[in-house]
Amino acid sequence: MAKELWKGNEAIAEAAVRAGCKCFFGYPITPQNEIPEYMSMRLPQVGGVFVQSESELAAINMVYGASASGVRAMTSSSSPGVSLKQEGISALSSGELPAVVVNVMRGGPGLGTIQPSQCDYFQATRGGGNGDYRTIVLAPCNIQEAVDMTQEAFDLADIYRMPVMILADGMIGQMMEPIEWHPIPKREVPPKDWAASGRRGRAHSNFITSLRIDAPDCERFNRALEQKYKTIAEKETRWEEKDAEGCEILITAYGTPSRIALSAVEELEAKGVKAGLFRPQTVWPFPSARLAELAAQPSVMAVLVVEMSLGQMLEDVQLAVQGVKPVRFHGRVGGMVPSVEDIAEQAGMILREVR
Amino acid sequence: MKKQITISGFGGQGVMSIGKSLVEAAVAEGLHATWVPSYGPEMRGGTANCEVVLSEEPVGSPVFTYPTELIAMNLPSLHKFEPNVTPGGIIFVNSSIISEKVKRTDVKAVYVPCDTIADELGNKKVANMVMLGAYIAATGALKQETIRQMLIHMFTGPKAKLVDLNMQALERGAACLEG
pLDDT digits (tens, 9 = 90+) for B83-119: 999 999 999 999 999 999 999 999 999 999 999 999 9
- Architecture of the domain whose range is B2-175: 3-Layer(aba) Sandwich (3.40)
Query: A4-235 has which fold?
Result: Rossmann fold (3.40.50)
- Average pLDDT score over chain B: 94
Mutate which: B32, B63, B149, vs A, most A CBs within 10 A: B63
Nearest by Cα to A319 from A284, A355, A276, A343: A284
| pLDDT score, position A184 | 84
Question: How many beta-carbon pairs under 8 angstroms link A with B?
Answer: 63
From residue A142, alpha-carbon distances to A8, A83, A256, A341, B121 in Å are 8, 24, 7, 20, 40
pLDDT classification of A200: cutoffs 50, 70, 90:
confident
Question: How far apart are alpha carbons B113 and B124 in whole angstroms?
Answer: 12
From residue A119, alpha-carbon distances to A90, A105, A201, A329 in Å are 20, 7, 49, 15
Is B35–A259 a contact, with Cβ atoms under 8 angstroms apart? no
What 3-state DSSP class applies to B157?
A: helix
What 3-state DSSP class applies to B63?
A: coil
B106 min Cα distance to partner chain A (Å) = 21
Is B41–A114 a contact, with Cβ atoms under 8 angstroms apart? yes
- Which range has highest mean pLDDT (A305-314, B33-42, B152-161)? A305-314
Q: Which of residues 260-299 of A touch B (CB under 8 A)?
A: 260, 262-264, 266
Question: How far apart are alpha carbons B76 and B73 in whole angstroms?
Answer: 9
Phi-psi domain of B23 (left: phi exceeds 0; alpha: psi -120 through 50; beta: other):
alpha
Question: How far apart are alpha carbons B101 and B122 in whole angstroms?
Answer: 27
Q: Which of residues 33-92 of B touch A (CB under 8 A)?
A: 33-37, 39-41, 59-65
Q: Which of residues 112-141 of A touch B (CB under 8 A)?
A: 114-115
What 3-state DSSP class applies to B54?
A: strand
CB–CB of A280/A254 below 8 Å?
yes
**Kind and range of the H or E run holding A51:** strand A49-52
Is B40–A263 a contact, with Cβ atoms under 8 angstroms apart? no
Is A259–B59 a contact, with Cβ atoms under 8 angstroms apart? yes
CATH number belonging to the domain at A239-354, selected among 3.40.50.920, 1.20.1250.20, 3.40.50.150, 1.10.3080.10: 3.40.50.920
CB burial of residue A313 (10 Å; 0-12, 13-18, 19+): buried
End-to-end CA distance of chain A: 48
Q: Is residue A178 scored above 70 in pLDDT?
A: yes
The pLDDT tens digits for A300-350 are: 999 999 999 999 999 999 999 999 999 999 999 999 999 999 999 999 999
Question: How far apart are alpha carbons B61 and A80 in whole angstroms?
Answer: 27
Q: Which of residues 177-236 of A touch B (CB under 8 A)?
A: 177-178
Phi, psi of A242 (to 5 degrees): -135, 115
pLDDT classification of B149: cutoffs 50, 70, 90:
very high
Quick check: A176 contacting B, CB < 8 Å?
A: yes
Cα–Cα–Cα angle for A59, A62, A63, rounded to 5 degrees: 90
CB–CB of A324/A295 below 8 Å?
yes
Counted residue by residue, chain B has a size of: 179
Quick check: A339 contacting B, CB < 8 Å?
A: yes
For residues B141-159, give the mean pLDDT. Answer: 92
Domain map (residue ranges) of chain A: 4-235, 239-354
A217 min Cα distance to partner chain B (Å) = 50
| pLDDT score, position B179 | 58
- Average pLDDT score over chain A: 97
The pLDDT tens digits for A39-56 are: 999 999 999 999 999 999
Q: Which residues of B touch A240 (CB under 8 A)?
A: none
CB–CB of B100/B75 below 8 Å?
yes
